[in-house]
A and B are shown apart, each in its own frame.
Chain A
């Protein structure tokens, strides 16, 4: 999409350059010559002629003229644009745009303008940009006019509207025109009503402002129409705001989901509280950092796929460390969940300090590949690609985990152990092996989460700590041993958090969510979707 657009822009620019060619350059020179010779009275005609030429290169010249920066060099009568550089003026040739040395102000003669001419110049610049062969320039000119509501540009807009082909730009121009019509007192009520309808369709915050001023300033039919339009825009804006909050909430929820889902597996299957889970996330983020460092030094062209390379590595690193922890510490503490909690907390301190010793305590920079940077607009929604990918990634991880649990032998064993450990052991499932693999899987997923989080958070030794309490809240809220509970828990908490933020502020919102969960656990001590049955107790 973006690619196609840029190609079309490039093509149109190339085409216009080829057409314009040398002939136009000569034209421009004569037109500029007309501009700088003669008195104030003839200058207006020259400006209009320059505007009529439709030459984009005239824009900087006219802007310089309006700003009083257009000079004639006394020595060779060349029109130059001067910008202050120390106590001299740095010069560029007006027509060609080439640098032309520097000069004292005494060696130059300023091309004078008065206020009336300035108005003409502004209109000329407006119409020039409106007629520009570059579609992006035209669009931004129209948007600028919409915001400025400059009555002098009305003629230029009308002219541009007759020749404009691109429907999107045409729309922007007619909206700008409508805004100008509404801003001029002389427009007839019929014109104004048509304009209100146009502005209403645009429906953003600027339109709302315009309509509100119109509603306040006019009376009769126009007033009611403008007020009605403003109200409908307000409603739709509120709806969009809601949608934006939902999106932010989903985005936060997907981050929580990524961080919590590994925890949900280990907690659900083994009843083990892994306080070092956040550190597994941190290790995943540092794996990403290392991968990017290696790529930066030895294979820079691979930078865009660095995250794809980092994903399996992070999974392996965190997963292997997870299995190591299970084999060396946790398996000795089964049946003592509170001791496990303390031991894994100690482990998290060791891992943090180890990473701090190796990589330093400052934040490490992890870059975003090009396909994750930038944003796009969906209606009034502003969606960044980075966030979008994280949501998609979280859902992919979630779906694959569900598949793993439902469709593979390991998943079957894991579910069996979750539901009834002694019985699973009795029918021949090697529960210690399942425990180790489960712990490895949970930690590996934390590593994956780390890759994603490296894109939106600071990669520092404390990265994991910030997520551990939130992840617990998600798991406890959703219900232990139920992945769909975790999904719903994560999204709910994310959305609720983002909805509270505008009213209560970020910190207070978070406190409210924590208090809500503390109260919620009282009502349903086993979470939203608790496993039922005697095995749980």
Chain B
């Protein structure tokens, strides 16, 4: 039954796309591991890492799209859930360093020794085990989303007000995580990770596996999202986006729909963040900065909101552009990013995918006309 539920949402295009994501997740790392160093098809290690990073961003974009594109909640704080998942993973990785830190303290991470902590803060207990950290990666963002969403949706905070609240939330978290007293590394955050599940995070094999895991996670998220969007529940969700009051008058508990999708999306963002941290090797409070969340929204807008493929494509396009431009012409990057925001909202409200569909429809019409 579950398989049928998951299968029904999959269109042919989406099935192909999921296969494509998995193919990237398998072939890119494999080419790095198996092909000889001088082969033209071999991906260098940094490229594997980059692709893994983009895949995590794509998962975040998909999470944003689920609430914004399908439910009309413009969240400007989703990077906070991403970062929280990342911090949970970071705490696990910190505990794995053990005595190999600069100070060699078996219990306390380096920054705590440096800040004169005498014992481990209570919320650090358990993070030495991956099987404790893994559920936390999902739980911490979900619980925050549940609390915020429950309050907000129940009192019918909508539209820009909700956007501002979510932005205030991530800003408050940014300020909080900058404090050394939080016991989470202050403004330096956490870095110098050594092992994940006993394998060195620096090794090519681990990187390859992480890249594949990111692709797998994205594929799973795509399947789950497709199933939700294609179900009766998904139809109701879209209806809430388009005519919230009418849905309420028809007797639907609008806030429950919103809350469910908001929490699910936060959990997805958390997992994406957790996969992101071991690949980039650092997590610090700047991940909470409101600009990051808005950028994630841009990925969705560029790719095409309200579609499942769009956010993934958008995340890849924008981040590839960012990687390339910040290297080649650093001062142009912000101009380009800003212009992208304006151009996409003014001229491309349906994003790249919308443009493609339009193009396809037109050529199909032309063919139909030619046939007639």
Contacts and interface: CB of A to CB of B under 8 A. Distances in A.
B342 A343 contact: yes
A350 B156 contact: no
- Most chain A CB atoms below 10 A, which of B159, B160, B335, B344: B160
Contacts of B243: none
A486 interface: no
A522 B172 contact: no
Interface in B166-199: 167-169, 171-172, 175-176, 178-179
A514 B335 CA distance: 31
B338 A353 contact: yes
Contacts of B341: 342-343, 345-347, 349
Interface stretch (A53-61, A162-170, A468-476): A468-476
A525 B168 CA distance: 15
Contacts of B172: 510-511, 514-515, 518
Contacts of B179: 507-508
Contact of B160 (A273, A345, A514, A523): A273
B252 interface: no
A333 interface: yes
B346 A518 contact: no
Nearest to A526: B161
A525 B156 contact: yes
Contacts of A349: 334-335, 337-338, 341
A349 B336 CA distance: 9
Interface string A341-363: 11101111111111011000000
B147 to A, nearest CB: 10
Contacts of A508: 176, 179
Contacts, number: 119
A339 B349 contact: yes
Contact of A469 (B155, B159, B171, B334): B171
Contacts of B344: 342
Contact of A343 (B169, B290, B345): B345
B64 to A, nearest CB: 12
A294 interface: no
Contacts of B157: 521-522, 525
B6 interface: no
B345 A342 contact: yes
A525 B157 CA distance: 6
A333 B301 CA distance: 15
A271 B163 CA distance: 14
B152 interface: yes
B151 interface: yes
A343 B156 CA distance: 25
B119 interface: no
B146 interface: no
Contacts of B167: 469, 472
Given A329-B342, A343-B345, A353-B334, A525 B155 contact: yes
Interface string A498-537: 0000000001101100110111011101000000000000
B339 interface: yes
A338 interface: yes
Contacts of B76: 341
B298 interface: yes
Contacts of B74: 338, 341
15 contacts: A273-B160, A338-B74, A341-B160, A346-B337, A346-B345, A347-B341, A349-B334, A353-B335, A472-B167, A507-B176, A514-B175, A515-B172, A517-B168, A522-B152, A525-B155
**The 7 residue pairs across chains A and B that have the minimum distance between CB atoms:** A346-B341, A349-B338, A350-B338, A353-B334, A514-B172, A346-B338, A343-B345
Interface of A: 271, 273, 329, 332-333, 336-343, 345-354, 356-357, 469, 472-473, 476, 507-508, 510-511, 514-515, 517-519, 521-523, 525
